[in-house]
Structure 1
Amino acid sequence: MPSSASLSSASPSGAPRFGANYTPGQGWFHHWLDFDLDAVRADLDAIASLGLDHIRVFPIWPYFQPNRTLIRPRAVEQLVQLADAAAERGLDVNVDGLQGHLSSFDFLPAWTQTWHRRNIFADPDVISGQADYLRTLAAALADRPNFIGMTIGNEINQFSAGPHPDPDRVTEEQAESWLRTVLAACEEGAPGKLHLHAEYDAAWYQDDQPFTPAQAARLGAVTAVHSWVFNGTAQRHGRTAAATRHHAAYMIELSKAWATDPRRPVWLQEVGAPAPLIPAEHAAEFTEDTVQAALDCQDVWGVTWWCSHDVSRDLADFPELEYSLGLLTNEGKVKPAGEAIARIVREWRGRPYAPASRTTAVVVDDDLSRRSECAPGGAVFEAFARLVADGVRPAVVLAGRASDTEHLAARGITEVVTPGEVG
């Protein structure tokens, strides 16, 4: 677990960080196969021009570790070169290790599949290989002052349950054991850095997902939130509704309900404006509304937009929305959402970040088999959205803490309401 010193250095003076998930303009994440440092530098120049202070970087696991006992030195060297190029442009770097899954495509090493099929969360040899890999990446970057820390992997929980077509199923206990092991490997490689794990929203919303809200909100240095309104929010409520504009804020507050530390930092690590649910002409407005709402929550470590660059249409078979999520075109031209982010960064530079406490809290059941009540259309989600539409700034509290006066006082909560009590 990082020291308080490393946390403060990662987020100076408590001010929120602003960054982008780095999607290379040329070749998407396949750029690792024919790594071009000059092309990377051009991408990073464009990202830095928006005033951002960090990027999230995605090695492709089978490209870096094609055999369980082979972690390619050249690939690791190129990752360090990327981090150094980012430092030259004033950008800090967070590295996701186990990709894993990106933009609807799965990347798993051959030594975990078909004739070598082993559960990536439970097989001891696979876990040992993963730990070696994460430890190696962390150690290679440990002395870089712009290295924030490791994220275990991008939304890797999607491999653990449906709707994945071929999941590696595990129990909640196995998922937690796996998380503790791989987080420890990151800490061994780079002691004192900000190491975390990140799940897609099934951890919060899906009743049978073995990765849980408690794990998300209690393991690792910060809680990661990935907010995507294509999860039924925008389809149900429309692009202008409070539920859509405040979805990221809702997920931040939901995560705080499960945290044992009332001041635990929350990183809005992924959020984007998916077309056509958010039409291109409204992307800037959605971006500004989403970030404004998120930063009205306490303890936000930072906001990292998905993503830096559009996916080139020279690449086939992506879901349509993936081609247009960038703040920049794949040629590096700034888009309206990028202009909006740049404005937000300028407005927040030097501005105090001190949102007031949220005094009204919606009660959420502790029972993991009722997580769907927190999803779009669920009782907790809809109650929160109605309160926001009525001008309330709601929080969320676990039912088991709803009468815990010490916990409520620590969070500044003075009123507790059940979903049924919200008109």
Structure 2
Amino acid sequence: MRFGVNYTPSQGWFHHWLDFDLGAVEADLDSIAALGLDHVRVFPLWPVFQPNRTLIRERAVEQLVALVDAAGARGLDVNVDGLQGHLSSFDFLPSWTTTWHRRNLFTDPEVGEGQAAYLRTLAAALNDRPNFLGMTLGNEINQFSYAPHPDPDPATPDQVDSWLRRMLDACEEGAPDRMHLHAEYDAAWYQDGHPFTPAQAATLGAATAVHSWVFNGTAQRHGPTGTATEQHAVYMIELSKAWATDPARPVWLQEVGAPAPHIPAEDAAAFTEATVVAALDCPDLWGVTWWCSHDVDRALADFPALEYDLGLLTTTREPKPAAKALARFAAAWRDREHTPAPRTTAVVVDGPGAGCAPGGPVFEAWAALAADGVRPTTVLAERAEDHEHLAARGITETVHPSEVPHA
């Protein structure tokens, strides 16, 4: 079981790439390693690294390699997100995709060529580093494809499928046999008509990534200590398995955090513990990567209020109660064999979209079962009578949402 954190630099946030200070990065990594964590996920800013479609800055790539090496010296493996893309409400797109050069991120051939070259270059630069886990294509890049983004890049599911395969192939060309994957925010699972689909998330790439945020209506509906809130990450992990064709496909809880005021600051440690305890009861969980390492300096303007205090550590690198809770799990589970029992009861899912979202029949049925002490998973309706599929997953009972009483 892997425990890690999404690395947010304590000085300058992700703008640190503009004034890269290896000493400051090393001090941040020291504070992360002191928690006993084993990996970080890091975020190059795409327009800083590739300011022109045919210019990938060698110095920026060298700085990324230096960061990965510094992490390795502290016993930390590294996953690298490529196309940033979107971070904490801010978009970072290179000028060759915007305004006078406005081109679709997912369908324009030249943009795709530039993106593939960039991902291939980063992967190749890190290929010989033993602590390099692999690439994530970008951070929740699906938010560019559909509403509520103010200026979306429309694409069909088939076009997105082709784009994902091309980008994953580029990563594989640069660094063969690493853990390359893609990661979306929950619109892929919860939003009707979204062009990034659960089937893509659960079949393309080396693992399924889920990003669990309870400010999506879950905490508002169920409260900060409700079962649905404390097990929202579990729900997303188990929902992903409905679309997986490999019953043993690994699932990475790649982002999860305790956003205030939905989770009051004084409850953050308890929420962290409840979330991790619940997630550890999911078969085929690869690991938990908390969002995020360090708070955002309040001298930086215009962030949504909840973004400033999501760190496990302060901007002066002091651990907060949630950090100590996660550190306890990292110490207790290091090198421990862990094989949870199969989840034998599955809620039947008709398809992606609002029915799976908080307030929808699938979500609320699953939450009601979990609150009653059942360990539910999910299964697609078209597989609900596929005895071979059910047996492979250890499912012995299927339940339709309408059969589950809930508030």
Give the TM-score taking structure 1 as reference length: 0.95
Offset from partner CA, 1:360-414 (integer Å, 9 cap, x none):
1000013x4xx11000000000000000110100010000000000000001000
Deviations 1:98-134 (A, max 9, x none): 0000000000000000000000100000000000000
The letter of the residue matching 1:241 is G
Which of 283, 291, 294 aligns to 1:309? It is 294
Deviation at 1:348, TM superposition (A): 1.2
Deviation at 1:90, TM superposition (A): 0.2
Q: CA deviation at 1:257?
A: 0.8
Q: What is aligned with 2:324? A: 339
- Cα distance per residue 1:65-120 (max 9 Å; x no partner): 00000000000000000000000000000000000000000000000000000001
1:37 is aligned to: 22
Number of the residue aligned with 1:70: 55
**1:246-270 CA deviation, whole Å, 9 max, x = no partner?**
0000000000111000000000000
Determine whether 1:387 maps to 2:373: no
Matched, 1:111 2:96: yes
1:380 corresponds to which letter in structure 2? Answer: V
Equivalence for 1:230: 215
Q: Deviations over 1:181-209 (max 9, x none)?
A: 00000000000111000000000000121
Aligned match for 1:152, one of 137, 140, 146? 137
| Partner residue, 2:240 | 255
CA deviation digits over 1:11-60, x for unaligned, max 9?
xxxxx110000000000000000000000000000000000000000000
Q: Pick which of 36-45 and 342-351 moved more.
A: 342-351
Deviation digits for residues 252-307 of structure 1 (CA, Å, limit 9, x no counterpart) = 00001110000000000000000011111100000000011111000001100000
Amino acid at match of 1:142: N
The AA in structure 2 aligned to 1:270 is E
Q: Secondary structure at the match of 2:247?
A: coil
1:18 paired to 2:3: yes
**Residue 355 of structure 2, aligned match among 362, 365, 373:** 373
Identity score, percent: 76
Determine the structure 2 residue equivalent to 1:265: 250
What secondary structure is seen at the aligned counterpart in 1 of 2:242?
A: helix
Question: Which amino acid is 1:84 matched to?
Answer: D
Structure 1 Cα separation of the partners of residues 2 and 361 of structure 2: 32
Corresponding residue for residue 163 of structure 2: 178
- The alignment covers a number of residue pairs equal to 405
Instruction: For 1:227 and 1:93, locate their aligned partners in 2 and report how far apart those are by CA, in whole Å.
Output: 21
1:402 match = 384
Residue number among 355, 361, 374 corresponding to 2:346 in the alignment: 361
Shift of 1:346: 1.4
Write the distance in 1 (CA, Å) between the matches of 2:208 and 2:99. Answer: 34
Q: Does 1:414 align with 2:399?
A: no
Aligned residue for 1:50, secondary structure, equals coil
> 2:79 corresponds to which residue?
94
Distance 2:334 2:145 in 1: 40
Indicate the SS of the match to 2:358. Answer: coil
CA deviation after TM superposition for structure 1 residue 349, in Å: 2.1
| Distance in 2, Cα, partners of 1:155 & 1:335 | 27
Paired residue for 1:214? 199
Aligned to 1:9: none
Q: Specify the alignment match of 1:246 in structure 2.
A: 231
SS of 2:322's partner is: helix
Match of 1:189 in 2: 174
Q: Secondary structure at the match of 1:270?
A: strand
- Letter of the 2:263 partner, please give it: I
Give every structure 1 segment of 4 or more consecutive aligned residues whose post-TM-superposition deviation is greater than 6 Å. none
Q: 1:123 aligns with which of 96, 104, 108?
A: 108
- Please list, as runs of the form range in 1=range in 2, the aligned pairs for 1:280-295 lying within 5 A after superposition: 280-295=265-280
The 1-side partners of 2:36 and 2:25 are apart by: 17
Amino acid across the alignment from 2:404: V
Give CA-to-partner distance per residue, 1:207-245, whole Å, 9 cap, x none.
121000000000000000000000000011101100000
In the alignment, does 2:61 pair up with 1:79? no
Aligned to 1:349: 334
Structure 2: give runs of 5+ residues left out of the alignment. none
Alpha-carbon shift at residue 313 of structure 1 (Å): 0.4
Rounded to whole Å, the distance in 1 between the matches of 2:177 and 2:128 is 11
Residue 163 of structure 1 corresponds to which residue in structure 2? Answer: 148
Distance in 2 of aligned mates of 1:346 and 1:115: 52
- In 2, Cα distance between the equivalents of 1:135 and 1:331? 35
**Alignment RMSD:** 0.6
